[in-house]
Amino acid sequence: MFVNRVTELELLEKRYASDKAEFFVLYGRRRVGKTELLARFCEGKRSIFFVSDLGSEISLRTALSAAVNTTLFGPNQMNAVYSTWEDLFHALAQAAQTERLVVVLDEFPYLVTAHPPLATILQRVWDQTLKNSQIMLILCGSYIGMMEETVLGYQAPLYGRRTAQYLLEPLQFKDARLFYPSFPLEDQVRAYAIYGGTPAYLHTLQPQQSLKENILDGILSRGSFLYDEVRFVLQQELREPRNYFAILQAIAAGKTRLNEIKLATGIEGATAYLDTLQQLHLVERLVPVTETQPQKSRRGIYRLKDHYLRFWFRYVHPNRSQLERDGAQIILENQVIPEIDHFSSLTFEEVCQQFFWQAGISGKLPFVPTNIGNWWNANEEVDLVVLGENDAILVECKWTSKPVGIDILAELERKAQLVKPELGDRQIRFALCSRSGFTSQLIEDAKRRQDVTLLDLPEIVGKMIFEK
C-alpha cells in the first residue's frame, strides 16, 4: 500500500522535467518509506536503482557495475566490472549526454563507509562531466548524521552540488489512518498514538483484527516485527546505544527537562546525546509557542518525537522480562488497555494541531497561522495556541469519555489572561476539541458567541480527510 506522498512526488517530477542535471538528496530515518517513494517515482522512467548494503568496496562496486550495465547494455553485460569508481561515474555521464537518466543510490552512506573517498570522487566527476549531462542523480540515506556529514554539511565533499534536498517525514494522521479505515474513529487516533506515521510500522497492522489484537500479536508477542524494532534501529543508528537508551527511557518516564534527564541518567554530557537524538528526529525540544528566541529559551522541554518510540519505551522495554515469559496478555490487560486513553491524549493534541494547520492553509480559519504549538509557564499550560500576525486561537483538546462542558471554556478564558501579555495586540479566539462531544449548555453558549468554535472528533477527522 502506497499512501499519499503527493508533495514529494510532485517535487521529484518537477526536478525530472527541468532539462538539466539534477542532484537530489533524499534523507530520513529508517522505515519512513524512502525506498518505496523512489521506486514509485522511477516507474516508467529510464533509471538505475541501486540499494547499497553492508559490504566491501569491491563487492559494492561489482554490484553497482552490474546494475549499470544491465540498464545501459542489457543483462548479457552485467558481469563486466568497472575498475574504478571514476570509470563507473563517467559511464553514467556518457549514458546521460542526450537522454534523461535517473540514477538512485539508495543507502548511500553504506557506499561511503565501504570506500571513504567515494564522496570526493563523486564530487570531482560531477564537476567534470555529470553536471553537464541529463542525469538525475538521487542520493538517499537513513543515516541522517552521515548524510549531513558527506552531502549536506558545509564541510562535506559534496556541499553545494545538490540542486534539491528533502527530509522525508512520517505520515500525518490523515494519511496514516488510511491503513486502518475500518477501525472506529477513537481507535484510529489510538492506533496513530501507537504506530505513528511510519509506513513500515503501519504495514504490520491487520485491519481485519481489532486494535487490541494487533497490539497483542504485532507488538507484545516475541518474534513480531515490532517487538525488537526500536532496539534494532538504535543499534543501527548510534555508536553508543546504552547512553541513548538511558536518555530515551528517562524522557519516556516523564523526565522532560535537561536537569531532570541528567539526574535520572547520571550522564553529565546529556546535551550532546540529546542533540544527536534531535538530528535523528527521535527527540524534539519544545518551547512555548510564544517564545521569540526558542534556542535561548529556558522553558524548553524534551519529548520523544516518534510515536512508536513512546509506546515501546513505555510498555515493551520495561516489561521485557515478563514478555519473554509469555506475559504479553497480562501486560496488555493490566497496563496497555487501562492506560491507552491517557497515552493517546498527547497524540490527540497532535491530531488537532495538524487539523488547524490544514484548516489554516486551506483558508478555513479567519487567518493564516504563522505558528502552532503548546504554551506553558511554571504552573499552567494551554494545549494549543494558533498564532497569526494579528490573531490567536487558544485551543483545549479533551480526550475524555465525558462531553466537554462550560467549565472547560471558562478555564480556557482564565488561562487566556496568563497568555495575553505574550500575545501583544492579537485578537483572541477560543476553540474546544473533544473526543466525546459537548454539553447542551456549552453548545448553546457557543452559538451566541463569535469567538468560540466547537469541534468534535468526527468533524476533525472528516475535515482532515476531505479537504485537500
The dihedral sign for the CA sequence 22, 146, 171, 361: negative
Give residue-wise pLDDT tens across range 160-211.
888 998 989 999 999 999 999 999 999 999 999 999 999 999 999 998 999 9
pLDDT confidence of residue 145: 65
Residue 79 has pLDDT above 90, yes or no: no
pLDDT in tens, 127-147: 999 999 999 999 998 766 667
20-51 pLDDT, tens digit each: 999 999 988 888 899 999 999 999 999 999 99
Model pLDDT, residue 109: 87
Query: How many C-beta neighbours within 10 Å does residue 359 have?
Result: 18
> What does the pLDDT look like over 84-99, one tens digit per residue?
999 999 999 999 999 9
Q: Give 159's pLDDT tier (boundaries 50, 70, 90).
A: confident
Alpha-carbon torsion 277, 279, 283, 288, what sign? positive
Please compute the mean of the pLDDT values over residues 262-283 and round it to a whole number: 91
pTM of the model: 0.91
Give residue-wise pLDDT tens across range 187-201. 999 999 999 999 999
> Given a cut of 80, is residue 412 above it in pLDDT?
yes
Q: If you compute the radius of gyration of the chain from its CA atoms, what whole number of angstroms results?
A: 25
- Flag whether pLDDT at 236 surpasses 90: no
Label each residue of 103-160 as H, E or C.
Answer: EEEECHHHHHHHCCCHHHHHHHHHHHCHHHCCEEEEEEECCHHHHHHHHHCCCCCCCC
- Assess whether pLDDT exceeds 50 at residue 449: yes
Binned at pLDDT 50, 70 and 90, residue 466 comes out as: very low
What is the rounded CA–CA span in Å between residue 452 and residue 34?
41
Q: What is the pLDDT at residue 345?
A: 96
pLDDT of residue 267: 92
- Mean local confidence (pLDDT), 238-262: 91
Residues β-bridged to residue 48: 103
Band (pLDDT 50/70/90 cuts) for residue 151 is confident
In 10 A of CB 212, how many CB atoms? 15
Q: Give the bridge partners for 391, in sequence order.
A: 427
Burial pattern 160-188, b for ≥16 Cβ within 10 A else e, equals: ebbeeebebebbbbbbbbebbeebeebbb
The answer, yes or no, to whether residue 467 has pLDDT greater than 60, is no
What pLDDT shows up at residue 296?
A: 87
Q: Helices 241-252 & 229-237, crossing angle to 10 degrees?
A: 130
User: Which tens digits make up the pLDDT trace of 211-223?
Assistant: 999 999 999 999 9
Q: Which of 157-166, 268-277, 393-402 has the lowest mean pLDDT?
A: 157-166
**Predicted confidence band of residue 268 (pLDDT cuts 50, 70, 90):** confident
Pairing assessment for the beta strands 22-27 and 164-167 based on DSSP bridges: parallel
Q: Give, as one character, the DSSP assignment of residue 76.
A: G
Residue whose C-alpha cell is 516523564: 254
346-395 pLDDT, tens digit each: 999 999 999 999 999 999 999 999 999 999 998 999 999 999 999 999 99
Supply the pLDDT for residue 82: 94
The amino acid present at 358, given as its one-letter code, is: Q
Check residue 144 and give its pLDDT.
Answer: 67
* Residue ranges of domains in the chain, CATH in brackets: 6-167 (3.40.50.300), 174-341 (1.10.10), 346-466 (3.40.1350.10)
Q: Which three-class secondary structure state does DSSP give residue 187? A: helix
